[in-house]
Amino acid sequence: MASSKPTVFSGVQPSGQPTLGNLLGAFQPFVKYQDTHTAFFCVVDHHAITVRQTPEELAENTLSVAARYISCGLDPAKCTLFVQSHVSAHAELGWVLNTFTQMGELERMTQFKDKSLRHAQNINVGLFDYPVLMAADILLYNATEVPVGEDQTQHVELARDIATRFNNLYGPTVTVPKAIIPKAAARVKDLQDPTRKMSKSLGGKGTLFLTDSPAEAAKKIKSSVTDSLAQITYDPENQPGVANLLEILAALTHRTPQEAAKEFKGQQYGALKSAVAEAVVQCLEPLQDRYNGLMADKAELQNILRKGAEKARAVAGPTLARVMDKVGYARF
Ligand code: AQP
Query: Where do the domains of the chain lie?
Result: 7-180+298-327, 214-292
Q: What spacing in Å lies between the alpha carbon of 229 and ligand 1's midpoint?
A: 30
Cα distances (Å, whole numbers) of residue 100 to 142, 152, 165, 172, 178: 18, 20, 7, 15, 19
307: annotated active-site residue: no
What is the predicted pLDDT for the residue at 202? 82
Which residue intervals of 38-152 are DSSP H helices? 45-48, 55-71, 89-98, 103-107, 110-118, 125-140
Q: What spacing in Å lies between the alpha carbon of 295 and ligand 1's midpoint?
A: 22
Element (H, E) at 180: strand 178-180
According to DSSP, residue 79 is labeled S
Element (H, E) at 141: none
Beta strands in 199-284 (DSSP E): none
Compute the C-alpha angle 116/120/126, nearest 5°. 55
Indicate the top mutation candidate among 45, 74, 130, 151 to test ligand 1's pocket, ranked by most ligand atoms within 8 A of CB.
151
The model's pLDDT over 8-25, given as tens digits with 9 standing for 90+, comes to 999 999 999 999 999 999
Q: Report CA 311 to chain centroid distance, whole Å.
A: 21
Amino acid at 109: M
Taken in order 182, 184, 185, 186, the sign of the CA dihedral is positive
Indicate the top mutation candidate among 10, 13, 245, 252 to test ligand 1's pocket, ranked by most ligand atoms within 8 A of CB.
13
Q: Enumerate residues lining ligand 1, CB below 6 A.
A: 11-13, 15-16, 19, 21-22, 24-26, 148-149, 151-152, 186-188, 197-201
Query: Within 10 A of 57 (CB to CB), how many other CB atoms are there?
Result: 15
- Sorting pLDDT into bands at 50, 70 and 90, what band is 305? very high
Residue nearest atom 33 in ligand 1 by C-alpha distance: 148
Q: Are 42 and 10 in contact (CB under 8 A)?
A: yes
Q: How far apart are CA 26 and CA 186, in angstroms?
A: 9
Residue nearest atom 12 in ligand 1 by C-alpha distance: 22
Q: What spacing in Å lies between the alpha carbon of 59 and ligand 1's midpoint?
A: 19
**Average per-residue pLDDT in the chain?**
96
Amino acid at 106: L
- Sorting pLDDT into bands at 50, 70 and 90, what band is 1? very low
115: annotated active-site residue: yes
Q: How far apart are CA 287 and CA 211, in angstroms?
A: 10
Q: How far apart are CA 308 and CA 298, in angstroms?
A: 15
According to DSSP, residue 43 is labeled E
**Pick from 9, 77, 65: nearest CA to 39:** 9
The model's pLDDT over 23-75, given as tens digits with 9 standing for 90+, comes to 999 999 999 999 999 999 999 999 999 999 999 999 999 999 999 999 999 99
Compute the C-alpha angle 132/29/149, nearest 5°. 40
What's the CATH class of domain 214-292? mainly alpha
Q: How far apart are CA 187 and CA 148, in angstroms?
A: 10
pLDDT at 162 over 80: yes
- Sorting pLDDT into bands at 50, 70 and 90, what band is 212? very high
pTM of the model: 0.95
265: annotated active-site residue: no
7-180+298-327 has CATH 3.40.50.620 classification: yes
- Sorting pLDDT into bands at 50, 70 and 90, what band is 4? confident
- The rounded percent of the chain whose pLDDT value lies above 70 is 99
Return the ligand 1 atom nearest residue 10 CA: 33
The model's pLDDT over 67-82, given as tens digits with 9 standing for 90+, comes to 999 999 999 999 999 9
Q: What spacing in Å lies between the alpha carbon of 230 and ligand 1's midpoint?
A: 31
What is the predicted pLDDT for the residue at 293? 98
pLDDT at 3 over 70: no
Cα distances (Å, whole numbers) of residue 324 to 137, 176, 313, 327: 16, 18, 16, 5
